[in-house]
Amino acid sequence: MTTSHFNFDQLRNLSIGTVDFVSPIEIKVLLETDAPQNTALNTGVPSLFPRINGFVLIPNEVGALVGIISWLGVEHSQYPKRKGFKDYDLIDLPFPLRKIAVNPIGTLKTEVRNKETIYKLERGIYSFPSIGDTVVLPKDEQLRSIVENDDDEAYVKIGVAPVAGNAIVKINPNKLFGRHIAVLGNTGSGKSCSAAGLIRWSLQEASKHKKDPLKSLNSRFIVFDPNGEYARSFEDLDVPIKRFKIEIATEEVTSFQQLRIPAWFWNSYEWSSFTLATGRTQRPILRRALRELKGGVTLDPQDCSATVRSYFSSCSVSLRSDINIGVASFKEKPGKNDFGRKIQSYSNEASFFEGKATGKLQANLKNLADTLQAVAAKRYKTFVNDQGQTIEYYDGFEISEATAALDAIKALVDSLGGESANVGPNEDMPVDFHVDLLPNHLEVIAEEQGVIQFLDFLIMRVRTLLSDSRMKGAIGNEPAITLEEWLSSYLSGITVIDLSLIPADIVHIVVASISRMSFEAIQRYRRMTGTVLPTVIMLEEAHNFIKKYTYSNDEISPLEICSQTFEKIAKEGRKFGMSLFISSQRPSELSDTVLSQCNTFLLHRLVNDRDQDLVRRLVPDNIGGLLSELPMLPTRKAIILGWAAPIPILVEMNELEKKYRPKSDDPDFWEVWTGQSERKEDWKAIADEWQGKVDLKEDEKHESPHTDALSNDNPGDDDLPF
């Protein structure tokens, strides 16, 4: 049963003023002269009043309007406003009157269950007060009902509310992770500890509610760690934890695995962004090369049949189109000249492939080259113009000649298994191929089309990537890994990916590719099973990967492709069970698309005015002066608001044990200066490791599968300082 009745004796004792001004976003209250000056005792327990971000109630017909104090002030009147002493014939004097401004945030309803009064907060305002309505202080149980989450599934305690007598603040993990989350705050504000803590505290609580105590938690978190901070943050949890890294030191072999994101995982857009391929010439050739390699085309001089089949299948389609158009394409001007040049070009290409082929294929290519050459030569003409220039042209071709050329090409293609157009995987499928073949295959296609001068830079970029000793183990074909093995390894438990040593020109592609592959995997999971597979991608220092960008039709930069990947996940991820968990110290640099899709915000100290303005525009709640505290928030204090919080509230976050904190502590300059904390420098060891000169013991070499990156046989890349 719900009631709107309040005990009037209690209201009289709790009254602190009356409504003086009402608007949809602000209510001003005139405090009584005997209202508490600093500490209120009439609520049952001592409480501070008035205080910024404290709560007041305005009783109404459905319960009470809940407001949060955003301003305190004093009005100096020239005449007395109090009327309570007239009956005593006392002369009243002008007295400064205190005022407060209140932002309405919800309605507190009263329910009676088994003769026990239960208070329940609902978002939204049912009824605004009138001038003169009484304003009261909330009692302790009412204050806790306002702050504490009454959601039955609010299992996870994240902290306490200092403004509400340290009431416990809990959240519903389905609401927290079911939609995208943003943790924002400057360096040193406790942002990283809060981000790690939200995951850790949620999984600790989940362990207490497991259906089968003997099984591990069935959770999926992919944590992108740009600075190597989170290696120990998730230890001792009831969930498998895997840590991946590019370069692994000897002492890290037992803790880290080699990061694998084979280049054959990349789609054509990721390849285009890495190589900075232009849209007019380079990108179509790059896509063709990927398509052919993924379809089984090789550049083995002993077997170029797949390449020949693919190329002349395209020629067959082109000639068939010309014949279907009719005489305009091969008999009349200007089509006859273009048709003649095309036939001659096909003859030249057949001769080119003839030099690479062997056996029967070589003979078939020679026959094709001779046939096409005869068709073209029959109509080839020249004349000398008035300027003495020799002009080449072709007479009109007969339909029989055009058909003969098509039949000759078709005979060759049929001998290789028929036309291969639209057969096999496309260039975006994660189909295994030997990535070392890509630059050579690009050269062959470029030579075929006579555009090798336009692909020099692209081919050089690919060769540079494939020769990078740091990335070879991550993107190469060795050691072999199947798509199934990769999905099983990376999409289970907690996966921490250390990005700290990945070269700057490739890190965005690595992050984009892993995120896209994970997203597409859970998309296909839902399509095949009809249910979602809840997965969270956490991105630390998100402003480095989800930046604002200007769209370009020509080149796609790696940063742009990375931002576009996360924008797609932000817009579509929720329906497939994938949530973004972003952490950033510069929200003003983040993509507006991603930030606008976040439903829960945890705001730590933000000093920059641009960041503060952006947060105020994004936050949907009417929280008045609460955001004004952002520049002054101490470490561990944060404002939580949005979908996972019943109301915006200032929270003192749980303290994360030191051994689980991300490695982002402030440097201890004083202790080092004064010798209280000893530091020894071994620059030779650092230089040797940096330059790849570390000489491991034989037993260490056999124990570690990652010593290739440290051996003298593989000294590194152009970024090494020698």
Residue 612 lies in a domain: no
| Residue 5 or residue 274, greater confidence | 274
Mean pLDDT of the chain: 82
Residue 613 lies in a domain: no
Residue 696 has what pLDDT? 41
Other beta carbons within 10 angstroms of residue 309's beta carbon come to 24
| Residue 48 or residue 300, greater confidence | 48
| Residue 18 or residue 614, greater confidence | 18
User: Given a cut of 60, is residue 722 above it in pLDDT?
Assistant: no
| Residue where one domain finishes, among candidates 606, 622, 641 | 606
Residue 353 lies in a domain: yes
CATH of the domain at 191: 3.40.50.300
User: Given a cut of 70, is residue 404 above it in pLDDT?
Assistant: yes
pLDDT, average across residues 400-408: 90
Contact (Cβ atoms closer than 8 angstroms) between residue 691 and residue 247: no
Residue 83 lies in a domain: yes
- Clarify whether residues 141 and 179 are in a common domain: no
- Clarify whether residues 520 and 571 are in a common domain: yes
- Total number of domains constituting the chain: 4
Amino acid (1-letter code) at residue 356: K
Residue 342 lies in a domain: yes
Residue 429 lies in a domain: no
- Clarify whether residues 392 and 522 are in a common domain: no
Closest CA to 224 of 465, 493, 514, 484: 514
Percent of the chain with pLDDT over 70: 85
User: Given a cut of 50, is residue 672 above it in pLDDT?
Assistant: yes
| Residue 106 or residue 578, greater confidence | 578
- Clarify whether residues 184 and 142 are in a common domain: no
| Residue 674 or residue 56, greater confidence | 56
- Clarify whether residues 101 and 184 are in a common domain: no
Label residue 692 by pLDDT band (50, 70, 90): low
Contact (Cβ atoms closer than 8 angstroms) between residue 50 and residue 40: no
Residue whose structure tokens are 């239960």: 118
CA atoms within 13 A of residue 164's CA, in its CB half-sphere: 28
Which helix H or strand E contains 122, and what residues bound it?
Answer: strand 116-123
pLDDT, average across residues 126-143: 87
| Residue where one domain finishes, among candidates 112, 147, 182 | 147
Amino acid (1-letter code) at residue 616: R
User: Given a cut of 90, is residue 702 above it in pLDDT?
Assistant: no
Residue 461 lies in a domain: no
User: Given a cut of 50, is residue 407 above it in pLDDT?
Assistant: yes
| Residue 13 or residue 514, greater confidence | 514
Residue 9 sits in which domain range?
A: 2-147
Q: Decide: helix, strand or coil at residue 308.
A: helix
User: Given a cut of 80, is residue 485 above it in pLDDT?
Assistant: yes
pLDDT, average across residues 472-488: 89
User: Given a cut of 50, is residue 146 above it in pLDDT?
Assistant: yes
- Clarify whether residues 121 and 181 are in a common domain: no
Amino acid (1-letter code) at residue 106: G
Residue 300 CA to its chain's centroid (Å) = 40
Contact (Cβ atoms closer than 8 angstroms) between residue 96 and residue 39: no
Amino acid (1-letter code) at residue 483: L
| Residue where one domain finishes, among candidates 423, 441, 471 | 423
**How does DSSP assign 125-191, residue by residue?**
-S----TT-EEEPPPHHHHHHHHS---TT--EEEEEEGGGTTEEEEE-HHHHHHS-EEEE--TTSSH
Residue 701 has what pLDDT? 42
- Clarify whether residues 489 and 574 are in a common domain: yes
- Clarify whether residues 383 and 514 are in a common domain: no
- Clarify whether residues 377 and 487 are in a common domain: no
pLDDT, average across residues 97-107: 87
| Residue 311 or residue 639, greater confidence | 639
- 93 vs 75: CA distance, rounded Å: 14
Q: Can you give the pTM of this predicted structure? A: 0.74
Residue 697 has what pLDDT? 40
Residue 567 has what pLDDT? 94
Residue 380 lies in a domain: yes
- Clarify whether residues 310 and 368 are in a common domain: yes
Q: Tell me whether strands 241-245 and 257-258 are parallel, antiparallel or unpaired.
A: parallel
Tens-digit pLDDT profile for residues 348-385: 888 888 887 888 888 899 999 999 999 988 888 888 88
pLDDT, average across residues 571-598: 92
Other beta carbons within 10 angstroms of residue 665's beta carbon come to 12
Label residue 194 by pLDDT band (50, 70, 90): very high
Contact (Cβ atoms closer than 8 angstroms) between residue 518 and residue 222: yes
Cα angle 573, 576, 581; round to 5: 40
User: Given a cut of 60, is residue 90 above it in pLDDT?
Assistant: no
- Clarify whether residues 501 and 582 are in a common domain: yes
- Clarify whether residues 131 and 7 are in a common domain: yes
The answer for residues whose C-beta is within 8 angstroms of residue 566's C-beta and 6 or more apart is 515, 539, 545, 546, 580, 591, 594
